[in-house]
Amino acid sequence: MLQVEQILQKRYQLKTKLGENAGRQTWLAQDLDESQSVIVKLLAFNPQMHWDEVKLFEREALVLKNLHYPQIPQYRDYFGIDQQTGEGLPWFGLVQEYLPGNSLQQLLAQGKRFTEKQVRKITTSVLEILIYLHELSPPVFHRDIKPSNLILGKDNQIYLVDFGAVQDRAKAEGVTFTVVGTSGYTPPEQFWGRAIPASDLYALGATLIHLLTGIAPADLPQHQMRIQFADKVNLSLHFNHWLEKLTEPAAERRYHSARQALEALQSGYSPGYSTAKASQPASSLVSYRHLAGLFLVQLLILSFGASILLPKFLNPTIQESISPEPGVYLNSMNRAQQAYFLEKSTFAGSLGDLKLDLTTPTTSYNYSTRATEFAAFNYGVSQQNTLKSYVGGVFVIPATEFGGSEDEMTTISILCQANSPGVIQPQEPIYEQGKLACGSGTTYISGY
């Protein structure tokens, strides 16, 4: 393992390990040549890792090298470490500018609550960064905006960091690419491998909702994929409408660009919304007819690779109780069934119909799906006696149960974990008399 005070490339002396996760390490280091602090991000190359991880790491280095904006950390160096220095494994290293300060996630964890005035200032700064990124040629999409990737510097400026999920359109057009993002902040189209300027805007909106409510968006209720936040915070009418438009589930109903969103924010006008009461849009449901076009295009032209990479897909409280692989796969399967129903008015009877191309069985789990007229059940059954199995459910119900109109239907979903390890398929969740619940012998993990 790499150690404190170890010197890499005869130049970078490791000082403090800031994070470690699945073969990745982030260090605060000292650049001995320049006598200044830097961030060194390291990726260990081992036979078990998926090649997409290397591609994402290299993409971050390549994109950062060509970005020049005061509120984005500057690229400094990229290098490789041989097996002898890396104690048995080769490593890739990325060096970037160190930005002293705290992430907005750290401030939230410390109990910080943000006012509308403070959030508007943060919003303006981030939108200005996104205008720079999105108006490059080719455009650059961050794809993982969230509180932990926004730094409030000691100079009171907001910085956008962690470009590990970044995508530029030139490399994305006509090919599949790794699915990345974080649950609650990731827009629907990004789960299908599609990223556009409005995708970053959705993630920004979800982040702002977290700052204002103090509640992670994955923990807020949703109606037909729309985050319900209006009753959790007292906002001006205009800003409430602006946030709702920013976080529309259907990308075509959001602002089309960061510049348009900034102009709407500053002008006090949010196109597409009436100036009635602020709570009304938050409680309404998206019609199937409206979202069908969005998912039809995605279902026809996009497919995932065999491995789906969603860093920190689940929020921290859920991560402690759910294994990463089945959590990622079953959440994706649940969402795919919801999207399939929006377009087909029926559930998919096989994984092939969902266009997910999930690898199954894996070394640990066997995945499958089963559809009925009004529900779909997704299974992750353990292949080892030491692991717990999982089951997800998606149910179609009248929208009137959530205040929608009588001619609409909506879907709700749930993910449950078996109480005990074993290779037996867990009992399916149920929806009865307006209540969604896990089946006997299982425990609720997440729903949306």
Q: Which residues are catalytic?
A: 144
Residue 380 to residue 426: CA distance in whole angstroms = 9
3-state SS, the chain, equals CCCCCCEECCCEEEEEEEEEECCEEEEEEEECCCCEEEEEEEEECCCCCCHHHHHHHHHHHHHHHCCCCCCCCCEEEEEEECCCCCCCCCEEEEEEECCCEEEHHHHHHCCCCCCHHHHHHHHHHHHHHHHHHHCCCCCEECCCCCHHHEEEECCCCEEECCCCCCEEHHHHCCCCCCCCCCCCCCCHHHHCCCCCHHHHHHHHHHHHHHHHHCCCHHHCCEECCEECCHHHCCCCHHHHHHHHHHCCCCHHHCCCCHHHHHHHHHHCCCCCCCCCCCHHHHHCCCCHHHHHHHHHHHHHHCCCCCCCCCCCCCCHHHHCCCCHHHHHHHHHHHHHHHHHHHHHCCCCCCHHHHCCCCCCCCCCEEEEEEECCCEEEEEEEECCCCCEEEEEEEEEEEHHHHCCCCCCEEEEEEEEEEEEECCCCCCCCEEECCEEECCCCEEEEEEC
Backbone angles phi, psi at 365, to 5 degrees: -140, 150
Length of the chain as a residue count: 448
Q: Do residues 200 and 217 lie in contact, with contact meaning Cβ atoms separated by under 8 Å?
A: no
Q: Which of 227, 179, 93 is nearest to 356 (CA)?
A: 179
Q: Report residue 11 as tokens.
A: 């130049």
Whether residue 361 is preceded by a cis peptide bond, meaning omega within 30 degrees of 0, is yes
